[in-house]
Amino acid sequence: MAQAVIGAMGTLLPKLADLITKEYSLQRGVRGEIMFLKAEMESMETALLRISEAPMDQPPDIQVKLWAKAVRDLSYDLEDSIDKFMVRIETHGRPDKSHSFRNFIDKSLSLLTKGKIRHKIGIDIKDIKSRIKEVSERRDRYKVDSVAATKPLGPTIDTLRMSALYRKATELVGTDEKSVEVIKMLTEGDMVSQKQLKVVSIVGFGGLGKTTLANAVYEKLKVQEDNQELQFDCSAFISVSLNPNMEQIFRSLLHQLDKHRIQNTNEALWGEEQLIREIRTFLENKRYLIVIDDVWDKSVWENIKYALIENEYESRVITTTRILDVAQQAGGVYRLNPLSVVDSRKLFYQRIYDMENKSPPSQLVEVSENILERCGGVPLAILTIGSLLSNKKGRAHTLEYWSKVQKSISSGLDNNHDDVKNMRRILSVSYSNLPPHLKTCLLHLSLYPEDYKIATEQLIWKWVGEGFVKKEQGKSLYEVGGDYLDELINKSLVQPAKFDNANQVCSCHVHDMVRDLIISLSSDENFLTRIGDPQPEYLPSKIRRLSIQTCIPEVVNQLSTMGLTNVRSLTVSSPAFSLLPTLSGFPVLRVLDLTFCMQVDNNNWKDICSLFHLRYLSLKGTSITRIPKEIANLQFLQVLDISSCTEIEEELPSTFIQLTQLLLFHMADSITCAVPRWMCSMSFLFSLSIKLETMGEEDLQVLGNIPSLSELYIQVQKPTQGRDKRLVIDNAYPFRCLKRFSVKGDTMELKFARGAMQSLQTLLLVLDNVHDTFSQFGDLVFGLENISLLEHIVVEFPFDEEDSDEETQMLRNVVQKEVEMNQNKPILTFTQTDAVDEHAEEFIKRFYLQLKKQKIETFTQYLDSLGN
């Protein structure tokens, strides 16, 4: 699954195992050759993993890197061959229950076709076998298994870290205020808590200045030694780093604490346990101050904690870490935020001009502000870019040069400056510490434009479609992907941008400096190719993942000169779609994201339905008006999003049921229909959004019997005429796996009885009209006390002139009472929206639809249309 590290190995090896164990009637000798391929590829996977573990400042030599690239390419090509074989076998293996003479002829032709297919896979495997033998010989020749490292390229990571301890005071802009905050956390509390050992953990991503801040606090507290009452008996500052030598750390700690210590002749023989005992004995009756810098693992902190005796002498410990759960385990968390705009500007100009209160000439003010915006308040980035523009380096203070530097930031393209390389290496330690599957997921974020707010649901499903997410016992693929994202957030590599009412991250973003790093790494590994601004200097000969973020014809037209037959993932921004080659030119495409590409219409279905390898297809907000029966060709499709396609009027074709692998199907704001009865046979369907004209018992019966359904979003267009009693959901509608349920309509027509939705954790009720709900049913009783596992409930309703204050207050009171009666004590949130906003949203939708009808794609075209 970790394709950035091991190519397609994670998905390839299980497929090779299937070919060996399942009955595919392979030609004689082919099964044995597949067993050989599997053994060789497993061995190469082990070597790739070992190579990936090399320290970032001591990378493998160039020959080993080239060998690793060849193996990854080989794994992709082999998986493509196997997938083509599987697609052809599946296509010609569909059952036909008729017994006509024509069917007899078709079956005979199918057998001949299958014979040709098996012959072709045999030829492909022999070709790949010869390539594997050649790669294996190179492995021995280059001594890949020893992972020969080059000499460190410039200063080591530890050297760069230590430089933070010796920053000039003039460079510590913004540190004073933050050090006061940390000291307050260390000293506040009552008399009893003051006596106890207190720990504060400074947490934030690389380059924010955690070490600098910890050192500033450390030095301030040590100065208090002049005051007898505040004096610490001993102090120490130790750096742990990514791969700590614990004996060495404890020995350093002991010698810093006991500066007058006489060397024990046996000390060199002491192990961890003896060193811990010595430290504890020394600290037993002392007030101590210790900084433990750069902790990466909870187990390392627990190990160090054994040495820190908890006496009653007001001892204090400061830790720094990039990982949130390490900070939480250590003690009071201090989240280090980026510098303010004022402090960023001060630090930037101070670094450039080597003096305080100096500003750039007027012609450089705007570009300097743009640079600071890109740096995002990260001291490491500000100091790095400032050094590129520094007087000391003889840089020309011209608009042209400063603009060039600005464009290079967060593009991942600047590899010519030592300062930029050093900055990336500090940030890259976090990347280096990731397991392979998280490295892949992080590099995938280079897909998104700068400052883009990434919808987490879409992101996780893309990871699923790409094959990045591994199966785990007892969890869905989406839940496992959510765990991956949580880990990246926990490690401060991805930042939450917005939380939903259940306190789940619903959008996230990547800091520009982290984005710069992953774009650089992605380019080095040929993981993903971006066509856009800034444009990479060269394009690889084989492209696996392609993101087109520009509509400049001369840029996009480069695609016609590139080999696109190996592209597995394609993401296109709306204006660029019309410049694309035909989609049939991407034969092994697995992920296709055409979200809000208005130029996509029914004419594109033929090409789309020929992309037999598709796992992920987003046509959200496009101009399609129907779903063809040929959609059934996409036998491996897992994710299909056709929401916000406002002109779809036809119902789903009956062939849709053949999409047996479908995990997500979103069609809200698109098709208005009854729930097809066959939908309950879609055994893997995990997430469904659907728009109903009205909601009836049969709809609930079908939805309740979809066996794996975990997320359901229902939009009801209008209330059912004549209905004066609510639909009661009880255990007759199983909803066995449903954890998240959202229902939106003019009125709330559902009521929950005892035993309803026994797995439900989050419920969102959206009432467009409280008055109509009360008028239709005579009450606002929903039975929320009967949902036994409910954790979060959100009730949303608009400000509306028809809704009296009395009715809205009644709604609040009834819901509040029902929630209080619920034994699980769920968290309740009321959200009152502005009806004007809803009308504005509806106007925007209609306006957008009108633009699509007129084939207007840009604002300039819209202005031109007004002139006509």
Which pLDDT band holds residue 614 (cuts at 50, 70, 90)? very high
Does the pLDDT of residue 100 top 70, yes or no? no
Strands 495-499 and 505-509: antiparallel
- List of E strands, 599-717: 616-618, 639-641, 664-666, 687-692, 711-716
Q: What is the mean pLDDT of the chain?
A: 80
Neighbour tally for 176: CB within 10 Å: 11
Could you tell me which residue, 449 or 762, shows the higher pLDDT?
Answer: 762
**Confidence check: pLDDT of 148 > 50:** no
pLDDT for the residue 106: 45
Alpha-helix residue ranges (DSSP H) falling in 651-781: 697-704, 770-777
Per-residue pLDDT, averaged over 472-476, amounts to: 90
pLDDT in tens, 649-676: 778 898 999 999 999 999 988 877 788 8
Residue 550 has a pLDDT of 74
Cα separation, 75 vs 3, in Å, equals: 10
* pLDDT confidence of residue 304: 92
**Which is more confident, 208 or 752?**
752
pLDDT digits (tens, 9 = 90+) for 39-68: 777 777 777 777 777 665 566 777 777 787
**Nearest alpha carbon to residue 773 among 811, 812, 734, 738:** 811
pLDDT interval class at 847 (50, 70, 90): low
State yes or no: pLDDT of 557 exceeds 80: no
Tell me what pLDDT residue 773 has: 87
**Size (the chain), residues:** 868
Instruction: For residues 329-334, give the mean pLDDT.
Output: 90
Query: Do residues 662 and 637 lie in contact, with contact meaning Cβ atoms separated by under 8 Å?
Result: yes
Q: Say yes or no to pLDDT of 533 above 70.
A: no
Indicate the pLDDT class of residue 417, thresholds 50, 70 and 90: low
- Whether 403 and 368 have beta carbons less than 8 Å apart is answered as no
Residues 6+ apart with CB under 8 A from 64: 51, 142, 144, 147, 148
Of 42-51, 260-269, 279-288, 679-688, the poorest mean pLDDT is in 260-269
Check whether 410 has a pLDDT greater than 70.
Answer: no
Q: What pairs with residue 617 in β-bridges?
A: 592, 640
* CB distance 709 to 738 below 8 Å: yes
Residue 164: per-residue pLDDT: 47
- Please report the pLDDT score of residue 90 as a whole number: 63
Whole-number pLDDT of residue 466: 92
Mean pLDDT across 458-462? 96
Judge whether residue 191 has pLDDT over 50.
Answer: yes
Triad 546, 552, 557: Cα angle to 5°: 60
- Looking at residue 96, its pLDDT comes to 46
Instruction: Over range 790-805, report the average pLDDT.
Output: 80
255-264, 502-511, 854-863, range with greatest mean pLDDT: 502-511
Greater model confidence, 82 or 308: 308
Say what the pLDDT of residue 555 is: 65
DSSP string, 186-253: HH-S-HHHHHS-EEEEEE--TTS-HHHHHHHHHHHHHHGGGSGGG--SEEEEEE--SS--HHHHHHHH
Q: Mean pLDDT over residues 785-811, rounded?
A: 84
Tens-place pLDDT, residues 305-321:
999 988 888 899 999 99
Mean pLDDT of 147-154: 46
Residue 624 and residue 601 in contact, taking contact as beta carbons nearer than 8 Å: yes
Task: Copy the structure tokens of residue 445.
Answer: 């974020």
What SS3 state is found at 339?
Answer: coil
Kindly tell me if the per-residue pLDDT of 328 is higher than 60.
yes
Q: What pLDDT does 594 receive?
A: 95
Of the chain, the percentage scoring pLDDT greater than 90 comes to 31
Region 611-637: mean pLDDT is: 93
Higher-scoring residue by pLDDT: 22, 361: 361
- Segment 713-730, tens digit of pLDDT: 999 988 888 888 899 999
Distances in Å between the Cα of 746 and the Cα atoms of 694, 773, 818 are: 11, 8, 22
